[in-house]
Amino acid sequence: SPKKAKKRAEGANSNVFSMFEQTQIQEFKEAFTIMDQNRDGFIDKNDLRDTFAALGRVNVKNEEIDEMIKEAPGPINFTVFLTMFGEKLKGADPEETILNAFKVFDPEGKGVLKADYVREMLTTQAERFSKEEVGGSVSAES
């Protein structure tokens, strides 16, 4: 019956929210909002392309974006976004998680982070750090 199906869908959704602390959910929401460039409540191909451009990757292949979109079971709203991260993080190796986080700052895959770029990202994206906070934690050759 439609009522049971709705209840089942709500149960599935509430389950993903119980996987994370409230602060983590808020951080995911901030990330989602940054990626939802056109503010329509969904992340689509254009949003992904714009997000990559904001991170300095302007020549992302359509196939690469299509592959990312295909990972989702349907349109990517916040609940789907959170569910996808939940599934990825559930079996994630902490070391792998950390390495993947650094890959965001190394879009060309060179294995080297440019301090100026990391400082810029930390002070302009998502939960912004002050220049003083970043100055104390990022000490590398520019």
| Alpha-carbon gap, residue 77 to 51, rounded angstroms | 16
CB-based contact 44:76 (threshold 8 Å): yes
- Over the stretch 6-42, which tens digit does the pLDDT of each residue have? 444 444 445 788 888 899 999 999 999 999 999 999 9
β-pair partners for 28: none
Name the CA radius of gyration of the chain, rounded: 17
Residue intervals in the chain for CATH 1.10.238.10? 1-91
CATH superfamily of 1-91: EF-hand (1.10.238.10)
In sequence order, the β-bridge partners of residue 43 are: 76
Report the alpha-carbon distance of residue 70 to residue 59 in Å, rounded: 20
pTM of the predicted model over 0.75: no
Is 7 within 8 Å of 15 (Cβ atoms)?
A: no
